[in-house]
């Protein structure tokens, strides 16, 4: 969209802007569900503007006031008819970007629709091999990097009509701007991935000039956010509501204990195998999925009993070595993309648990809760790092930012984490 059209969008009536944005989304193939969600948010924005007599044009101040008044509180998350409010911040940001740039950047890219020219595909394959052999990237990291570089190459091919030897500094700037709808730490990672690829192209002689220096540096503080922490009484309430007589309850109870008592990551819980459980010396021995480093921690009595109960009376009799399986035939292990969020959500809602302020609510937040409770007890950072399997103390020190009053409200019985001693 040219500059004149962008100006006319910024100055166009709010209703016209919304109609154009929805039309753009339809052309991009957004699902009916997504369209209805954006339509609901923007209809409320128009109504809000009329009620407050704020005029008929979109503006940053209008957007800010709307978000401030309608942003969902935790107690309203599950109210009928209020679902659109959970997405209000992102919905308003999408409309803001459309008003400024005249285009919609899909939140997710359909990788199946990307078809790179053979020369680009070959160079990308060569780079992947280079990452395996020389950079020693872990498979998960390489998979993410390959995805982002595929999107980058598609941008060059379809939007800029460039071959790899024709890349210009302006192309890089426009690509980074096009990813501006993402969170800063995500953009930072993408820029880092592209920078590495550009250096590879220079090393191979495909680029005559190293353009990696033209990419901006996206600075994101490692401790910019405070970890989400559950009050201890809420964890007690969550565990207490679980029906431990059912296969689902037995499985989910063991999963939740691994997170909130031992601090295991969701990926390590999902991939935990029967061979990792060393009953004879009461230990769990795994290779951490995130760091690819070996990790050992004691198997406490509480967690061990929950695992035994599930394995004996809840787990389907299947040959899979993964400990945790799905509840319905064919009783398979969880797929790689499953972060087990549904396990927490099901029992949290059944328990009627709400939070004082918006926060993350998945398994990782239970891991955070263990760390902050240990910190409140005066446990040294190196000990907490060992418990959580951190390879750097910088990853552990972020918990020092947690609110002091929140820490005081979550006293922990030492028997619940015997391996912390």
DSSP assignment letter at 326: -
Nearest Cα residue to 222 out of 405, 407, 401: 401
Q: Is 346 a catalytic residue?
A: no
CATH 1.10.150.130 fits 111-214, yes or no: yes
Is 419 considered catalytic here? no
Per the annotation, the verdict on 290 as an active-site residue is: yes
Output the pLDDT for position 141: 85
Cβ atoms within 10 Å, residue 241:
16
Residues 104 and 24: beta-carbon distance below 8 Å? yes
What is the rounded (10 degree) CA torsion for 317, 319, 321, 322?
-50
Catalytic status, residue 132: no
| Distance (Å, whole) CA 259 – CA 285 | 15
Residues of the chain with pLDDT under 50: 1-8, 73-77, 223, 402-421
Indicate if 317 belongs to the active site: no
- Is 356 a residue of the active site? no
Q: Which of 20, 37, 85, 265 is catalytic?
A: 265
Identical fold for domains 111-214 and 232-420, yes or no, is no
CATH fold for domain 232-420: hpI Integrase; Chain A (1.10.443)
Task: Give the Å distances, CA to CA, from 375 to 232, 258, 269, 353, 398.
Answer: 14, 19, 23, 24, 11
Catalytic residue among 364, 368, 373, 419: 364
Which residue out of 145, 195, 390, 419 is catalytically annotated?
390
Catalytic residue among 20, 189, 270, 367: 367
Domain boundaries, the chain: 3-101, 111-214, 232-420
Q: pLDDT value at position 279?
A: 94
Q: Residues 290, 320, 360, 418: which is the catalytic one? A: 290
**Catalytic entry in 189, 276, 399, 419:** 399
| Selection from 314, 318, 334 nearest residue 326 by Cα | 334
């Amino acid at each position: 969209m040219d500059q004149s059209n962008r100006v006319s969008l910024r100055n166009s009536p709010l209703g016209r802007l919304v109609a154009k944005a929805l039309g753009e989304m339809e052309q991009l193939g957004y699902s009916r569900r997504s369209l209805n969600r954006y339509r609901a948010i923007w209809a409320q924005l128009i109504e809000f503007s009329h009620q407050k007599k704020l005029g008929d044009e979109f503006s940053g101040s209008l957007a800010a006031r709307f978000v401030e008044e309608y942003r969902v509180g935790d107690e309203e998350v599950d109210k009928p008819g209020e679902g659109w409010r959970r997405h209000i911040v992102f919905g308003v940001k999408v409309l803001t970007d459309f008003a400024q740039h005249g285009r919609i950047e899909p939140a997710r890219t359909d990788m199946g629709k990307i078809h790179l020219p053979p020369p680009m595909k070959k160079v990308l394959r060569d780079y992947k091999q280079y990452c395996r052999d020389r950079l020693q990237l872990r498979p998960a990291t390489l998979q993410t990097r390959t995805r982002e570089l595929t999107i980058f190459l598609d941008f060059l091919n379809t939007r800029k009509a460039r071959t790899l030897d024709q890349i210009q500094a302006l192309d890089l700037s426009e690509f980074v701007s096009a990813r501006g709808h993402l969170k800063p730490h995500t953009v930072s990672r993408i820029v880092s991935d592209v920078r590495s690829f550009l250096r590879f192209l220079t090393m191979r002689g495909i680029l005559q000039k190293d353009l990696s220096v033209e990419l901006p540096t996206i600075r994101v503080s490692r401790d910019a956010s405070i970890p989400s922490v559950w009050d201890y009484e809420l964890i007690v309430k969550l565990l207490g509501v679980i029906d431990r007589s059912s296969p689902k309850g037995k499985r989910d109870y063991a999963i939740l204990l691994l997170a909130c008592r031992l601090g295991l990551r969701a990926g390590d819980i999902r991939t935990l195998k029967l061979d990792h459980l060393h009953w004879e010396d009461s230990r769990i021995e795994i290779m951490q999925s995130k760091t690819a480093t070996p990790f050992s921690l004691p198997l406490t009595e509480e967690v061990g009993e929950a695992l035994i109960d599930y394995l004996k009376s809840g787990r389907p009799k299947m040959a899979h070595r993964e400990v945790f399986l799905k509840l319905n035939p064919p009783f398979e292990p969880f797929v790689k993309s499953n972060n087990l969020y549904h396990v927490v959500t099901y029992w949290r809602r059944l328990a009627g648990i709400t939070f004082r302020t918006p926060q993350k609510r998945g398994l990782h937040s239970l891991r955070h809760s263990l760390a902050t409770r240990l910190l409140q007890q005066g446990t040294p950072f190196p000990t907490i790092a060992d418990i959580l399997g951190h390879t750097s103390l910088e990853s552990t020190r972020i918990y020092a930012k947690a609110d002091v009053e929140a820490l005081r409200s979550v006293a922990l019985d030492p028997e619940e984490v015997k391996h912390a001693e």
